[in-house]
Amino acid sequence: MQASNQEELRTILPGDRVIRIKRKRRLRLRLLSWRELIGVIKEVVFETPFFVMVPILLVLLLLFSAGLYFAENGAVGSNVHSYGEALWDGVVLMTTAGTMSEPVTAIGHVLGAIWTIAGCMLFYGTIIASASAYFLLPISSYFLLPRRGSHAKLVGTIQYNFGRLEELSLKDLEALKNETISIIDATIQRCTKPE
């Protein structure tokens, strides 16, 4: 027996096996390079619902904050004296941070309640949808990410159709086969081109 974690057995009879105990490999975490990090950020921004949802979220935040400002400005006991304070309260309501002063008017309460529910759903929904779509990018269908380029849409359509091969007609199967072959051929030509 050796001093290491491996044991070697000698064969006694024909057909006996040699048994070795292998060392377990250590998992190493690898940090992303700047180029890889920028690539991930680009994919999250442009290939997920993030790019579509953030402007919608910002416009709604500005509108609800304006409503909160007009409802609370000048009311007795209100802490909203400027649009900036109303905007801050809108952000706090949207993220449910809980540090906002309570509205004092009935309209402020209604707007605050509506914005808390809608803003929270949109804010966290955007984060969850973007993360889910990012991790599903390799297997997503055409319908999941409508902002992709034409090549990516074609690949998504092919992936979608591969999921339902039994439902396709012979004509559809032939078209799917031809499109898949043309994409693979184009990719091979692009990869083998000398730069």
**Residues 59-93 pLDDT 10s:** 999 999 999 999 988 888 888 889 999 999 888 88
What whole-number distance in Å separates Cα of residue 42 and Cα of residue 73?
41
Q: Please give the single-letter amino acid code of residue 50.
A: F
Domains plus CATH for the chain?
47-138 (1.10.287.70), 140-195 (no CATH)
The span from the CA of 129 to the CA of 135, in Å, is 10
Which two structure tokens, joined as six digits, stand for 99? Answer: 């540090």
Per-residue pLDDT of 174-193, as tens digits, reads: 888 888 888 888 888 888 87
